């Protein structure tokens, strides 16, 4: 049971790890690689749609195209439990900020809510109008925003399951949704390259930002909420002022289409792309400051918690990065059998 691994105190009172100093970025090293293996009913390991680290930093949720969500130990890659209730590709998974809830969603149009402490499903719903591609909790876990392959943005109360808001975005095929750090704004974007921002309380549309010429896959607010960073298939990482919509910077990503964007620390953005690399960008100078190689396929998902970052995607591996220690010469590779049954 997850309850035995996390423990009551760790779920309720989460330890906060200090942010990494900018000067320590160069100290990033690969801690270990977790290679997923196929189970008896599949020829290939699952493609990983999303990896999300639990706020304690000890566990992670791994969602894939094999319809499963695995709760795994970050340090060892051991599968603690396999959640098997989805009936199609699971594209999104996120823990609430307090670590008590896990939300999962995907092609079956269901948003499933799990009580992490008791390892039970709280509720599920199949009324979302399309395949779900992305979800995001607000800062205190009282709201969950959901988007998918149409123009709907739905905000739920995760505890009651009731719809709080439902809006139309600037076009179909949405791939990214994000609350601002203070929970006051919500942004969504997708195929049109336009970011639409709403007031999270009133539902008022605040502005449209024409950020890219092609599909946006990732959004991240700066820590103070004054900037929004977007990554796109047009091979650019763009930064806009959230109040005025004015572009602040545009950073070319070379040959890489950007598939994931994550705030790594207050002044640093991490991106994953089709060049199989994780790239780090400064929000002070708006320049690339480092890149992390090793994946053999598109890096579709990133998650950062304290001094740990995980990356994964099309190559069916999960790479665990240590954001603060000295480098190892030969990081270990952990082979994890994929099972349909809980351990």
Query: How many residues would you count in the chain?
Result: 343
Condensed to tens digits (0 to 9), the pLDDT of residues 105-144 reads: 999 999 999 998 776 777 776 678 899 999 999 999 999 9
Condensed to tens digits (0 to 9), the pLDDT of residues 313-343 reads: 999 999 999 998 544 445 555 555 444 333 4
Q: Output the pLDDT for position 121.
A: 78
Between CA 333 and CA 318 the distance in angstroms is 10
Between CA 235 and CA 132 the distance in angstroms is 24
Contacts of 2 (CB under 8 A, 6+ apart): 59, 71, 80, 81, 116, 117, 119
Dihedral sign, CA of 89, 258, 153, 113?
Answer: positive
Between CA 155 and CA 140 the distance in angstroms is 14
Condensed to tens digits (0 to 9), the pLDDT of residues 164-195 reads: 999 999 999 999 999 999 999 999 999 999 99
Between CA 63 and CA 50 the distance in angstroms is 5
Quick check: 1 pLDDT over 80?
A: no
Q: Output the pLDDT for position 37.
A: 81
The whole-model pTM stands at 0.87
Condensed to tens digits (0 to 9), the pLDDT of residues 67-112 reads: 999 999 999 999 999 999 999 999 999 999 999 999 999 999 999 9
Q: What is the CATH number of domain 2-15+43-331?
A: 2.130.10.10
Between CA 4 and CA 14 the distance in angstroms is 16
DSSP 39: -
Where exactly are the structural domains of the chain?
A: 2-15+43-331
Q: Output the pLDDT for position 8.
A: 35
Identify the CA nearest to 124 among candidates 137, 148, 136, 106: 106
Q: Are 230 and 190 in contact (CB under 8 A)?
A: no
Quick check: 13 pLDDT over 50?
A: no
Among 7-21, 168-182, 302-316, which stretch is predicted with the lowest mean pLDDT?
7-21
Quick check: 41 pLDDT over 90?
A: no
Tell which wins on pLDDT, 265 or 214: 214
């Amino acid at each position: 049971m997850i309850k035995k691994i996390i423990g009551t105190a760790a779920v309720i009172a989460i330890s906060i790890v200090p942010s990494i100093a900018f000067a320590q970025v160069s100290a990033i090293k690969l801690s270990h690689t977790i290679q997923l293996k196929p189970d008896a009913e599949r020829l290939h390991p699952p493609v990983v749609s999303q990896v999300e680290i639990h706020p304690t930093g000890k566990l992670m949720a791994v969602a894939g195209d094999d319809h499963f969500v695995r709760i795994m130990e970050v340090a060892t890659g051991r599968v603690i439990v396999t959640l098997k209730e989805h009936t199609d590709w699971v594209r999104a998974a996120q823990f609430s900020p307090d670590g008590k809830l896990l939300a999962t969603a995907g092609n079956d149009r269901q948003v499933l809510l799990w009580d992490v402490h008791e390892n039970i499903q709280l509720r599920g719903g199949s009324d979302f109008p399309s395949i779900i591609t992305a979800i995001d909790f607000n800062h205190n876990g009282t709201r969950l925003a959901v988007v998918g392959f149409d123009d709907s943005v739905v905000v739920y109360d995760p505890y009651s399951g009731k719809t709080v808001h439902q809006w139309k975005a600037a076009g179909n095929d949405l791939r990214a949704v994000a609350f601002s750090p203070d929970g006051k704004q919500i942004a969504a974007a997708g195929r049109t390259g336009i970011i639409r921002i709403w007031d999270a309380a009133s539902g008022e549309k605040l502005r449209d930002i024409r950020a890219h010429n092609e599909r946006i896959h990732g959004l991240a607010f700066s820590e103070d909420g004054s900037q929004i960073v977007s990554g796109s298939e047009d091979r650019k990482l763009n930064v806009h002022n959230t109040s005025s919509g004015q572009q602040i910077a545009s950073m070319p990503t070379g040959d890489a289409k950007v598939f994931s964007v994550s705030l790594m620390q207050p002044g640093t953005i991490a991106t994953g792309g089709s060049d199989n690399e994780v790239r780090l960008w400064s929000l002070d100078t708006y320049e690339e400051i480092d890149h992390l190689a090793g994946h053999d396929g598109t890096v579709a998902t990133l998650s950062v918690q304290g001094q740990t970052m995980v990356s994964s995607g099309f190559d069916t591996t999960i790479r665990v990065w240590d954001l603060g220690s000295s480098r190892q010469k030969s990081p270990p590779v952990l082979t994890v059998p994929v099972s349909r049954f809980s351990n």
